[in-house]
Amino acid sequence: MARATFAGGCFWGTEEAFRTLNGVIKTVVGYMGGTTENPSYEMVCTGQTGHAEVVDIEFDPAVISYQQLLECFWAVHNPTSLNFQGVDRGTQYRSAVFYHSDDQRQQAEESKSALAASGIHLAPIVTEITPAGPFWRAEEYHQQYFMKQKPDFML
């Protein structure tokens, strides 16, 4: 098994996009990239902890590649939005790839460069590519939030 961590705005939607992919074993939402230990959602929302809302993914590289995860990441958010996605504003909603190995760093940088060269986006890609740091699990009510909101008849 391998691990990947992405920040693409509100972690609820980002998690849902990855959770359903074949080869993804587990998704957990939380916080990464900041300086405060064990931050709460309320603390992160102030923008003063430096954390981003992230989805931490455990995946089987024999079933889904890191490159495929990157492709999903680029597709589910706007990588040209600096510190916001949709109506969510603040550094906690920034676009970031938190890499866990040199290979992931290289793949993320190459993927970002290819996306920028593709001309799909008219504005520059502002996604950070940075080493993974401590991951702090978000409160339980944030985990698989969209799935918890489905009415029983949709399950």
Residue-wise pLDDT tens digits, 88-135: 999 999 999 999 999 999 999 999 999 999 999 999 999 999 999 999
State residue 153's pLDDT score.
Answer: 47
d(CA 49, CA 37): 9
Checking if the pLDDT of 85 tops 70, the result is yes
| pTM > 0.85 | yes
On whether the CB atoms of residues 38 and 136 are closer than 8 A, the answer is yes
Catalytic residues: 10
Thinking of the domain 2-154, which architecture would CATH place it in?
A: 2-Layer Sandwich (3.30)
On whether the CB atoms of residues 95 and 112 are closer than 8 A, the answer is no
d(CA 114, CA 45): 32
- Higher per-residue pLDDT: 153 or 83: 83
d(CA 52, CA 127): 12
Residue-wise over 74-87: b if at least 16 C-beta within 10 A, else e? bebbbbbbebbbee
Q: Could you state, in order of their start, the residue ranges of all structural domains in the chain?
A: 2-154
State residue 150's pLDDT score.
Answer: 66
C-alpha 147: how far from chain center: 17
